[in-house]
Amino acid sequence: MRVLITGANGQLGGALQRTAPAWADINAIDVEDVDLTDSAMLTARLVVEAPDLIINAAAYTAVDKAESDEDTARAINVDAVATMVAAMESTGGRFVHVSTDYVFDGTASSPYLPDAPRNPQSAYGRTKAEGEDKLRRQDILVRTAWVYEAGGANFVRTMIRLMKEREELGVVADQIGAPTWATGLARTIWGLVEREATGTFHHSDAGVASWYDFAVAIAEEAHSLGLLARIPTIRPLTTADYPTPAKRPAFSLLDCRATRAALDETPVHWRTHLRLMLKEEAKLG
């Protein structure tokens, strides 16, 4: 099967390539290959590639920048999705799209089900929700949150860098969710494809954390692996203490039970996957 992966150089794009099953004939593209804001260019590239399946791991993810650059975010998160779906509609191909917890408003008190009402509170969230609406009934939508991977640009690696530089740092403690190892997310996506699933699915690692909790765990695990010489003081902050242009969901836990049932999988706690990621990070030097 000819599989086209967009966002090849991103965390998930890389993980999808590394975990690809033997049956997948992979071609992965990124910004140097095609400009997703140019629908004509994208359409022409899709004609050349003629994929049987597209996994769209590309997105405009600069959450704060999107507040002042919503047009570009919409071109990538909405218009490019519509172009890819139209291409698959014309050829009979399949489409997998990755979305985000930011489509929810963060006011829930229990994990968001796949069919929960959406109410995005940021430009990024709005464009991702609009992109979801371009999908067909036969497509796969996978929402996720707090993604990280060894070697990527993410919270884990940022924290390790700051912890090496500072004796003390503050991290927001009133935003609640669950971290997601990109390798595990990629495996879930391939599993859903293999089972010919359709519809909306949620994937994040098991457990609950605030960004503060996550940072404390990063410090402890990184120190135990020799990535940190010492553990700095980590202070809990409120969202009000750390204002950002885009509003973040205060609560963004995703209910992943239906996904686990579909794949007959036992959920893995986020700290277990964090430890695996940091072991990979240590090998990278």
pLDDT by residue for the chain (285 residues), tens digit each?
999 999 999 999 999 999 999 999 999 999 999 999 999 999 999 999 999 999 999 999 999 999 999 999 999 999 999 999 999 999 999 999 999 999 999 999 999 999 999 999 999 999 999 999 999 999 999 999 999 999 999 999 999 999 999 999 999 999 999 999 999 999 999 999 999 999 999 999 999 999 999 999 999 999 999 999 999 999 999 999 999 999 999 999 999 999 999 999 999 999 999 999 999 999 987
For 228, how many CA atoms within 13 A lie in the half-sphere containing its CB? 27
Q: What's the pLDDT at 71?
A: 97
Q: Are the C-beta atoms of 211 and 162 separated by less than 8 Å?
A: no
* Average predicted confidence (pLDDT) for the chain: 97
Distance (Å, rounded) from C-alpha 190 to C-alpha 176?
A: 27
Q: Are the C-beta atoms of 168 and 117 separated by less than 8 Å?
A: no
**Across-strand partners of 53?**
3, 94
Distance (Å, rounded) from C-alpha 150 to C-alpha 15?
A: 10
Q: What is the pTM of this model?
A: 0.96
CB atoms within 10 A of CB 116: 16
Distance (Å, rounded) from C-alpha 208 to C-alpha 262?
A: 22
Report the Cα 141 to chain-centroid distance in Å: 12
Active site residue 242: no
Distance (Å, rounded) from C-alpha 206 to C-alpha 198?
A: 23
CB atoms within 10 A of CB 54: 24
**Across-strand partners of 98?**
142
Distance (Å, rounded) from C-alpha 235 to C-alpha 216?
A: 10
pLDDT 10s digits, 153-187: 999 999 999 999 999 999 999 999 999 999 999 99
Q: Are the C-beta atoms of 55 and 96 separated by less than 8 Å?
A: yes
What domains sit in the chain, N to C, each tagged with a CATH number? 2-284 (3.40.50.720)
Catalytic residue among 60, 124, 148, 212: 124
